[in-house]
Amino acid sequence: MLHTMVDEPTGHHSATLIFLHGSGGAGVTVRSWIQECFARIGDEEGLQFKHIKVIYPTATPQPYTLTGGEPSNVWFDRVALQLEAQEARKSTDKMLEMLAELIQVEIDAGIPPSRIIIGGFSMGGSMSFHIGYRKRLDLGGIFAMSSFLYDDSAVYPDLKELKKKNSDVTMPELFMTHGTQDELVLFQWGRKTFEKLKELGVKGRFHASNQTHLIRSEELVLLKKWVLEKLPSNLISKL
């Protein structure tokens, strides 16, 4: 089971948001950075809601090729940070199952899949593509910030096969942001990923910003607005 940091809703829990950190990060650190970003613009509430539980999991440490094989908190291994590199599917699929278990816990607690959104920053966003378009097409949405998929990613053929079996299958809406000045995960990688998913029937929004490889307040404001659009409160106010 993954270690998690959780912000419980202040009111009735009717939806869940899962935010995955980038490579080498942790749930507690990405949560702290998000809070700081919102505080800078005077939004002390940030990603804390009356009806949405927010979960920040931490990836289980595993050997990471890009750090010389040393253990790191990563959602999957990477042999290279290039669009044409091979996807490390064994480690990806292992973490896919662990995150699916985390989602199932929420479903077992009474939260419908359509009221669950998962996404993340950088590698966290990349992992979310696998969850939403290979494992749980019934989720309420997928978001990715400064993320991409390899050209040979299993997401593309798996999604194509799912659509072949069921042409009427619905897929989670996608929300993506990417900085045009990103020096680590190039802007064109993220844009290409979005366009390839779009060709396979995924509907969504892609926001470009004049930023580097970092979560920024402006992107979080857009994300928060989208989350509340997808997961509105289902509580009926009494007049």
* Catalytic annotation, pick one of 152, 158, 213, 217: 213
* Catalytic annotation, pick one of 72, 122, 128, 153: 122
The span from the CA of 175 to the CA of 166, in Å, is: 24
DSSP annotation string for 73-107 = E-SS-BS-SSTTSPB-HHHHHHHHHHHHHHHHHHH
One-letter amino acid for residue 23 of the chain: S
Question: Does the annotation count 213 as an active-site position?
Answer: yes
CB 217 within 8 A of CB 185: no
Give how far Cα 78 sits from Cα of 81, 118, 185, 223, Å. Answer: 7, 21, 13, 27
* Catalytic annotation, pick one of 7, 51, 182, 209: 182
Provide the token pair at 44: 């002390």
Provide the token pair at 179: 């900085």
Question: Does the annotation count 182 as an active-site position?
Answer: yes
- Residues that are catalytic: 122, 182, 213
